[in-house]
Amino acid sequence: MPLSQEQLDFFWANGYLNYGKLFTDEEVEAFRAEYDEVFRQAVEGNAFRNIAIDDGGDSQHKLKAPKQMLQITQMCERSIRFRKLLYEPRILDLVQDLIGPNLMLFHDQALSKPARTGGAVSWHQDNGYWRCRPANLVSCWMTFDDAVKENGAMQVIPGSHLKPVWHERSAETNALLKIEAVDDSKAVVCDVPAGGIMFHHCQTLHYTQPNETDRPRRAFAIHFMPPGTRDRKGETMRVDFKHPLLRASV
Ligand SMILES: O=C(O)CCC(=O)C(=O)O
């Protein structure tokens, strides 16, 4: 079902849209199993990052750190199930409503906060990292566990997508950027059920807190861009293996 005018107006006024449940419980079970298997292999091969600490070191170093914000970029290069998820019509139909019928992948990523030790992702705009032009990228963030504030649900500042802000390198970890002056009294928590999705614009300020619960929070984000998007060097990003064309109007 397409997004309603009300949902579209909400997204463009606020920079995010908490869509709610999309996948069935059976689908969620299958995603969890695959997610855990890709992480198992990544730990075996030391092919993941703990962005809560300076990246680098072996798997044990990363997993024994006091905080773990575990990241695998391009799950689609490791798993057919996650590759297929990029082409999921239920998601592309909604993204098409937001940024048009021609859609490319900027990248995907799994972001896992283990129970109790899961680390934060500090306040940022995605485009603070990416510096793409035009700033017209949209992310679909989904979770395979019920996400609430305490285990790291997405928090956003409504309306912040209207203006880019300056990002500093975080003092705690080289892997993250940080913004000093965020008025988090304006933050809205997007509780998302397992199998649910939310969208955010690439300039929307967002944050996820450490996981204080006994439950994991396994999330996956697909970052979409329209063809013609330029990278930080000003070069138009080409369709290639890393940046497939996911949908094209005919
Ligand atoms: O999943 C998280 O904790 C952070 C995700 C995020 O920052 C993003 O998808 O842009």
Ligand 1: residue whose CA is nearest its atom 10: 126
Ligand 1: residue whose CA is nearest its atom 9: 221
CATH topology assigned to domain 5-224: Jelly Rolls (2.60.120)
Instruction: Convert the pLDDT of each residue in 213-249 to its tens digit.
Output: 999 999 999 999 999 999 999 999 999 999 999 999 8
Residue with tokens 């700033």: 135
Write the DSSP string, 191-233: -B-TTEEEEEETT--EEE----SSS-EEEEEEEEE-TT-B-TT
Ligand 1: residue whose CA is nearest its atom 8: 221
- Is residue 110 very low, low, confident or very high in pLDDT (cuts 50, 70, 90)? very high
Ligand 1: which of 108, 125, 139, 202 to mutate, judged by most atoms within 8 Å of the beta carbon?
139
Domain ranges of the chain: 5-224
Ligand 1: which of 141, 182, 189, 192 to mutate, judged by most atoms within 8 Å of the beta carbon?
141
Q: Which atom of ligand 1 is nearest to the CA of 206?
A: 7
Instruction: Convert the pLDDT of each residue in 192-223 to its tens digit.
Output: 999 999 999 999 999 999 999 999 999 999 99
Model confidence, pTM:
0.96
